[in-house]
């Protein structure tokens, strides 16, 4: 069951590259930076994910990153999700994310599994929401 909203994030791609492309199959790497918040604490950060364009039209993504609070505390994360392309070219991912931090104000993140809704637009912008999974 979905629980409390952990936070919302938005970002912008800073780099893209093709890792593999053959026979209609492609693996892409996307790096990004963004801002948002977890449990009301503002963060900014960056990350990288690989996304595989699969033969059935779905997209599988796996990524990791680092977010920082205003006072220099860090939160690391690793997430994976399954997505699909919409008519407008947006990739809508849904998946799970796991956090690790020593930041006192965010230590609750260490004990939750997050589930996310993440939309990546063709112009390189992205938005997402993360909820507790209970």
Handedness of CA 111, 82, 127, 79 (dihedral sign): positive
**Cβ atoms within 10 A of the Cβ of 9, count?**
23
Model confidence over 23-54: pLDDT tens digits? 888 999 999 999 999 999 999 999 999 999 99
- The model's pTM is 0.94
**Cβ atoms within 10 A of the Cβ of 85, count?**
14
Instruction: Say if residue 118's pLDDT is above 90.
Output: yes
Report which of residues 68 and 2 the model is more confident about.
Answer: 68
Lookup: tokens for 58: 């779905």
């Amino acid at each position: 069951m979905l629980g409390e909203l952990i936070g919302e994030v938005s970002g912008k791609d800073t780099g893209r590259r093709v890792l593999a492309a053959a026979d209609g199959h492609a693996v892409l790497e996307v790096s990004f930076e963004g801002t948002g918040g977890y449990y009301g604490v503002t963060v900014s950060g960056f990350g990288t994910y690989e996304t595989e364009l699969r033969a059935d039209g779905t997209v599988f993504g796996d990524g990791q990153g680092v977010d920082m609070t205003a006072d220099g505390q860090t939160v690391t994360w690793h997430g994976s999700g399954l997505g699909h392309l919409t008519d407008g070219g947006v990739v809508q991912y849904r998946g799970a994310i796991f956090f690790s931090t020593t930041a006192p104000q965010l230590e609750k993140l260490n004990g939750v599994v997050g589930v996310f809704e993440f939309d990546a637009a063709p112009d390189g912008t992205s938005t997402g929401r993360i909820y507790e999974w209970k």
